[in-house]
Amino acid sequence: MEHPRVLKRIGADVFLSTDNYCSLCAHTPTAMVLHDIAYAHFPQHIPWLSRQYYRYFVPRYLNRAEQVITVSEFSRKDLVQTLGISPEKIQVGYNGPRDVFQPLPEAQQQAIRAQYSEGKPYFLYIGAIHPRKNVHRLIRAFDRFKAQTGAPHQLLLAGRWAWQTGEVRTAYEAARHKESIRFLGYVDDELLASVLGAAFALTYVSLWEGFGLPVLEALYAEVPVIFAYATSLPEVAGPAGLGVDPESEEAIASAMHHLVENKSLGPALVEKGRRQRTRFSWDQTAEVVYNVLEKISHPVTQ
């Protein structure tokens, strides 16, 4: 956190905090980026000390900042409804894609599948392994899908093991088709772009997201998406994916089945994704941030 004396000494006109905090003492006009307030909705998933920190400081940071930038219209509404922040002080600046996520040539897709899924098509999850990401239901849904269809598809999960992972381990151990489920652990960006580009579909059924970056990355990689029809994810996916109830394993399994059986569905979703992804770019986000900084550096006087 920037110390107020530091801001004063360097003569800062404005202070932009990009990671959920700001100085409560400095008088420098401040814009703060806040991605979400998941802590307020899933406190049981956060260690006690961290939970107390968020509850005490986040509302104070939000009230201190002259302007707040958040990453989705959903998050903007959540800040207003849950914490009572004035809607006039919140601007939406969407996340953008990383350049590494691009469509993958078929030969490279085959090489990735040969290395990671025995040459078979696979559903992919990207993200940390913890309760809010709903990985335990995804595993059980995939197991249901395999039992119902006998399809050769596998499930790959790319992400570090985080906390409270007992339900995930239990779901995996109980799965009848665990030989078709593979945990990749943490995957760096370059490899992740290849693993995503070769996927049959991204399965992202998280219970709560402020944005949902893997969905956008899948749109840029031109990979079909199954997403949780909840929180910010419909805003990001738009019509370019299959939305499901994240608490219904049957609905998740049915979407997998539908995508496998309907050969024209995947290409149709990819085509819609090419249009949907144009709503999100770092250039557009930079313009939002610039306008906010301009606004707070030249306040309107009464």
Beta carbons of 226 and 232 less than 8 angstroms apart: no
Torsions phi, psi of 107, nearest 5? -65, -40
Q: Quick one: 91 and 114 in the same domain?
A: no
Question: Higher confidence at residue 13 or residue 143?
Answer: 143
Residue 101: inside a domain:
no
Residue 302: inside a domain:
no
- Strand 67-70 and strand 30-33: the pairing is parallel
Q: In the predicted model, what is the mean pLDDT of the chain?
A: 94
Mean pLDDT check: name the lowest of 3-17, 99-113, 203-217: 3-17
Q: Averaged over 51-55, what is the pLDDT?
A: 95
Residue 178: inside a domain:
yes
Q: Quick one: 291 and 244 in the same domain?
A: no
Burial of 56 (C-beta count, 10 Å sphere; 0-12/13-18/19+): exposed
Q: How far apart are alpha carbons 190 and 101 in whole angstroms?
A: 9
Q: Quick one: 118 and 65 in the same domain?
A: no
Q: Which domain holds residue 133?
A: 106-278
Q: Quick one: 92 and 114 in the same domain?
A: no
Q: Quick one: 259 and 178 in the same domain?
A: yes
302 pLDDT tier (thresholds 50, 70, 90): very low
Q: How far apart are alpha carbons 273 and 219 in whole angstroms?
A: 5
Eight-state DSSP code of residue 301: P
- Strand 90-92 and strand 122-126: the pairing is unpaired
Q: Quick one: 292 and 186 in the same domain?
A: no
pLDDT on residue 75: 97
Q: Quick one: 91 and 156 in the same domain?
A: no
Mean pLDDT check: name the lowest of 32-46, 229-243, 246-260: 32-46
For 14, residues 6+ apart whose C-beta sits below 8 A from its C-beta are 28, 29, 30, 31, 293, 296, 297
Residue 209: inside a domain:
yes
pLDDT on residue 164: 77
Q: Quick one: 75 and 116 in the same domain?
A: no
Residue 180: inside a domain:
yes
For 19, residues 6+ apart whose C-beta sits below 8 A from its C-beta are 33
pLDDT on residue 4: 57
Q: Quick one: 136 and 267 in the same domain?
A: yes
CA 72, 76, 81, 84 torsion: positive or negative? positive
Q: Quick one: 36 and 128 in the same domain?
A: no
Q: How far apart are alpha carbons 179 and 159 in whole angstroms?
A: 19
pLDDT on residue 34: 96
Q: Quick one: 268 and 119 in the same domain?
A: yes
CA 102, 108, 114, 116 torsion: positive or negative? negative
In our burial notation (b when 16+ CB lie closer than 10 A, e otherwise), range 73-97 reads: ebbbebbeeeeebeeebbbbbbbbb
Q: How far apart are alpha carbons 242 and 300 in whole angstroms?
A: 45
pLDDT on residue 19: 86
Which CATH number belongs to the domain containing residue 90 in this structure? 3.40.50.2000
Residue 32: inside a domain:
yes
* pLDDT tens digits for range 104-131: 999 999 999 999 999 999 999 999 998 8
* pLDDT tens digits for range 260-274: 999 999 999 999 999
Q: How many domains does the chain contain in total?
A: 2
Which amino acid appears at position 256 of this protein?
M
Q: How far apart are alpha carbons 43 and 26 in whole angstroms?
A: 30
298 pLDDT tier (thresholds 50, 70, 90): confident
Torsions phi, psi of 242, nearest 5? -100, 110
